[in-house]
Amino acid sequence: MSLKKIIREYFSYSTSEKRGLLVLALILITVFVLPEFINTDSTPDSIPKKNENLDSLIAILSSKGKLKNPALFLFDPNKASAEDFKKLGLRDYQTRNILKYREKGGVFRSKADFRKIYGIKDDDYNRLKDYINIPPAIKNEKVKNIAKRRVELELFNFDPNTIDKVEWEKLGVNDRMSNRIIKYLSTGARFKNADDLGKIYGFDSLLLKRLKPYVHIKPLKEKSVKIELVDLNLADTSILKTLPGIGKHFQIEL
């Protein structure tokens, strides 16, 4: 066998061997060559510089939307504007969360409710809690309804002994209460003055105060008794019974 043929057989590779060599070459290039081009400043001296740049970037991001010198003043979180929250030192995303909460119908009923907003941290809450000013809510719904209804009332002079349900409704009295009044009058009772309306169970005291100046009770007309002369000598029992003070239990013996 010639030397040329021996060398050719020694350095010849199969297809699978060629593929293996190619993969090995790529790995060697990746490990030893690429870092020289990519990581040019990977020396120990460059590490503090990278950390310093990273810290600066974090500081910028954390201070974004935050006022450097926040003002402190009384505010109602239910009504304060985005500009007010910015003056108070809140970040943009905190303000957005507050406004979204209000847009969805949320209401701040106490100072603690402000802390529940996502993004409001303890230091923000502790700094602002003494300046949160939420007006006390009106708990008595009846008072609110009467105050709202005052504009709608049709006020006029009336006698509570004689008006009907329609007129009571115009005065702001509901059906249930007017039915009680009518039932009360049907027993023969009578309102003698405006305060007597307060004796009806459930009659609203605020409404009564509103209606009092318009209550005008007409006095009852006394029935006149017509007395006719009777001849006692001719009168029989039926005629004597009609006389005042006699009746059927008292008769005169002639």
Q: What is the pLDDT of residues 205-219, one digit of tens each?
A: 888 888 999 999 988
pLDDT at 49 over 90: no
pLDDT attached to residue 28:
75
**pLDDT tops 90 at residue 98:** yes
Residue 138: its pLDDT value, please? 47
Cβ neighbours of residue 196 under 8 Å, at least 6 residues apart?
A: 160
* Whole-number pLDDT of residue 220: 74
Is residue 76 domain-resident?
no
When mean pLDDT is compared across 128-132, 145-149, 158-162, 230-234, the lowest value belongs to: 145-149
Tell me which of 24-33, 55-64, 86-95, 203-212 is least confident. 55-64
- For the stretch 215-220, contacts whose Cβ atoms lie closer than 8 Å and that sit 24 or more positions apart, written own/partner, are 215/157, 215/158, 215/159, 215/160, 216/157, 216/158, 216/159, 217/159, 217/160, 217/161, 217/191, 217/192, 217/193, 218/159, 218/161, 218/162, 220/190
Domain termination residue (choose one: 179, 196, 214):
214
Dig out the tokens for 44 from the structure: 């120990």
Looking at the domain assignment, is residue 70 inside a domain?
Answer: no
Residue 31: inside a domain: yes
Per residue in 7-19, pLDDT (tens digit) is 555 455 566 677 7
CATH number at residue 206: 1.10.150
* Average pLDDT of the residues of the chain: 76
Whether residue 78 is contained in a domain is answered as no
> Does residue 173 belong to any structural domain of this protein?
yes
The residue behind tokens 């039926």 is 238
Lowest mean pLDDT among 119-128, 143-152, 190-199, 207-216: 143-152
Rounded to 10 degrees, what is the CA torsion of 11, 16, 17, 20?
150
The domain total for the chain is 2
In this predicted structure, the answer to whether residue 42 has a pLDDT above a threshold of 50 is no
In a domain, 237, yes or no: no
The structure's pTM equals 0.34
pLDDT at 112 over 60: yes
Residue range 175-194: mean pLDDT, rounded: 91
Inside any domain, residue 72: no
161 vs 2, more confident: 161
Q: Report which of 119, 126, 135, 6 is spatially closest to residue 65, judged by C-alpha positions.
A: 119
Which residue range(s) make up the domain with 23? 3-38
The reply to whether 162 falls in a domain is yes
